Copies of this chain bind each other. A is one copy, B any other.
């Protein structure tokens, strides 16, 4: 899909421009925690925009915890700058260049599988089996088993009962979903993937943490391999 003709960058938003100016102003002026920003009226006048727009920008800084607004007292910096710690999300965006994501996935899911083997409840096992059944059924009908695959990994994550690891997984959820689709499109891949899932489930059922971890590692690595063979650094993904 030749997407040569751009998504047409959308950012007229005035408050975003105000935000940029404010960040620049604070950076250049070397303002530090506790320093006071100019008043809203002053900013509005100097930037040549309405106070409402300045206010919108300040509200953004406020919810990001970068600034403290005191009614009648002024607006003060909470930290030294106005830059937000680069959100993992954006990193994920840039690093959709999959290799990084797959490394992270291996690190997280290997441990998740181990924990799942040690902590799974009966409901967890039911969910895992249901996911596999669904995948098998779909593949039997000529499908790729994508939804079952997704459900299985989600069930493993749930069975590990680790909110922190689960939170990390959520952060790379989207790129993983994409890689899943491409991977399962490979010839004979759905069947092999199903077999690997069965191995993981068997280890989890047996309460074999090491085995589950090893099985999951093999699975994730084979996905990565398949995916990387197809990887063309020039073509970005097609969809939304």
Contacts and interface: CB of A to CB of B under 8 A. Distances in A.
Contacts of A157: none
A60 interface: yes
A42 interface: no
A145 B23 CA distance: 35
A115 B103 contact: yes
B103 A167 contact: no
Interface stretch (A86-94, A127-135, A177-185, A230-238): A86-94
A106 interface: yes
Q: How many copies of this chain does the complex contain?
A: 2
A231 B59 CA distance: 38
Given A59-B60, A63-B63, A164 B115 contact: no
A92 B164 contact: yes
A171 B107 CA distance: 16
A115 to B, nearest CB: 7
Nearest to A15: B59
Contact of A88 (B91, B162, B171): B171
22 contacts: A52-B52, A55-B56, A59-B59, A60-B60, A60-B63, A63-B63, A65-B89, A85-B167, A88-B88, A88-B168, A88-B171, A91-B167, A95-B163, A95-B164, A100-B162, A103-B165, A104-B162, A104-B168, A107-B111, A107-B165, A164-B172, A168-B168
Interface of A: 12, 15, 52, 55-56, 59-60, 63-65, 71, 85-86, 88-89, 91-92, 95, 100-101, 103-104, 106-108, 110-112, 115, 162-165, 167-168, 170-172
